[in-house]
Amino acid sequence: MEKINQLSYPKLYLGNTKYSFSKFGCLSASLIMAHNYLYGRNEPVGRVVPALKYDSDGYLQWPSISYLSLKKVVDIRKTATPYEAIKKAYKNPNQMAILEVNNGAHFVLLWGSWWPGLGYRIIDPVGGKSTFTNLRGYKITGVRVVEK
């Protein structure tokens, strides 16, 4: 699976909005990486993003992820860290967890289990690199779980 760096797409916009993928595409990038991992593909960002639907404020319209043959099965927002939902998704080979961090200001893809002192291993779409939540100072405030 190819890691996606959303900063590499400054001229790609979320639907017909003024919001660029490079600044506001972390959730979409995480979904594309989840799809690519679950299906063993590398779908081009430039083809997927225009197929997803966004409202006028740039928020993803979740039913549109059916384009990626995904469906959302868990949606926990702005709560204490949803450890149980994260653990359950991590153990299911047909599911991927997208972590909401810093009260919804950013989304990252869960890539590995909890490491004491380091937090969860993630792929951060800003930069497209593997890192850990605690190394980036990310406070997990929610989780979206998708499955194929």
Q: Return the percentage of the chain with pLDDT > 90, whole number.
A: 91
Digit-coded pLDDT (tens) for 123-142? 999 999 999 999 999 999 99
Q: How confident is the model at residue 78 (pLDDT cuts 50, 70, 90)?
A: confident
Average pLDDT of span 49-62? 95
pTM: predicted TM-score of the whole model, two decimal places: 0.94
Of 43, 16, 133, residue with least CA distance to 86 = 133
What local confidence, expressed as pLDDT, does residue 112 receive? 93
132 versus 104: which is more confidently predicted?
Answer: 132
How far does Cα 148 stand from its chain's mean position?
15
Does the 6-147 domain belong in CATH 3.90.70.10?
yes
**pLDDT score of 79 more than 90:** no
Strand order in the sheet with 95-101: 71-76, 140-147, 95-101, 106-115, 119-124, 129-132
On whether the CB atoms of residues 35 and 68 are closer than 8 A, the answer is yes
SS3 84: helix
